[in-house]
Amino acid sequence: MDASELVKRIRGDGYAIVANAVDCTLVEAIKRELAPWLMRQHMGRNDFEGYHTERVYALLAKAPSIAGLIEHPLVLAIVDQLLPVNYLLSAALAINVHPGETPQRFHVDDAGGNLLKRPRVHVGVSTMWALDDFTVANGATEIVPGSHLWEEGREPTPADAVTAVMPAGSVMIFLGNVLHRGGANQSTGVRLGITPQYCAPFIRQLENMVLAVPPEIAGRYSDRIQSLLGYSVVEPGFMGYVDGLHPKRLIDPEYRGRKARGIPS
């Protein structure tokens, strides 16, 4: 299924799953890079994060192979159709759910849009990458189809949700205003997921990416990743500048990409 067909499904149901979107080589590389951060030393600090769940933030500063998920061509082709141009990476975190974890509360990821009454437009798009097989038993994400179209005040019940069962290497793409939650892990193993989330350029990112991934690290990545992090400006205009100059100058002092258009570089 191509990007346009998946976008139709996402607009209708609120989500779509692409099975086996990356191969085991990338999955294993990411797991190796994350291993030092997944030592059961930093479990969740509240019921939402999960007292039996490890969360690793600022991933691009810790596990470079994550870039292969964040700028996956099919995912970006889908997000290109769902968000305004110049959209940003709002968050990128690992969620490692251990046995005994309880279900999260249902929530949306693009909470920046919650000042608007439902039904409202989405201002973000989220992805959930399975680095382990996602099963009913190990706490796969539970998503409420069509909840992006619900009226104000309607509350979800567990019966409204479906479980995003998918093999390792798969991805679920869903609108930021779709209700979902992490499930209960009733198995004997962990369930590792990576969730890059994208937002409209006029919404504040959940994670302060230019601090989480400073220039000396951002410079190692592609132009697309740098732009998603916030080393970019919103056109037309110049929102996002640093000291009156393009933020790419923090990475490359010789950057002159906008000079030809009469905009400060």
User: Residue 148 maps to which CATH number?
Assistant: 2.60.120.620
What the block records as the tokens of 241 is 């500048």
Query: Does 196 fall in a domain?
Result: yes
Q: How many domains does the chain have?
A: 1
- Tell me whether residue 8 is in a domain: yes
Q: Which residue has the higher pLDDT, 126 or 114?
A: 126
Strands 171-175, 15-18: pairing is: antiparallel
Largest distance between two CA atoms of the chain: 60
* The pLDDT of residue 157: 96
Q: Has residue 235 been placed in a domain?
A: no
**Arithmetic mean of pLDDT, 31-57:** 96
Q: Is the pLDDT of residue 24 over 80?
A: yes
> What pTM was computed for the model?
0.95
Establish if 97 belongs to a structural domain: yes
The answer to whether residues 125 and 79 touch, using CB atoms and an 8 Å cutoff, is yes
In a domain, residue 256? The reply is: no
Q: Which of 22-36, 78-92, 246-260 has the lowest mean pLDDT?
A: 246-260
Q: What is the pLDDT of residue 257?
A: 65
- Provide the domain limits for residue 178: 3-209
69 lies in some domain: yes
Identify the pLDDT of residue 116: 85
Above 50 in pLDDT, residue 262? no
> What b-and-e string marks burial along 12-38, b requiring 16 or more CB atoms within 10 Å of the CB?
ebbbbbbeebbeeebbeebbeebeebe
Would 236 be classed as within a structural domain? no
The answer to whether residue 63 is domain-embedded is yes
User: What is the pLDDT at residue 111?
Assistant: 87
Q: What local confidence, expressed as pLDDT, does residue 261 receive?
A: 40
Query: In the predicted model, is pLDDT for residue 227 greater than 90?
Result: yes
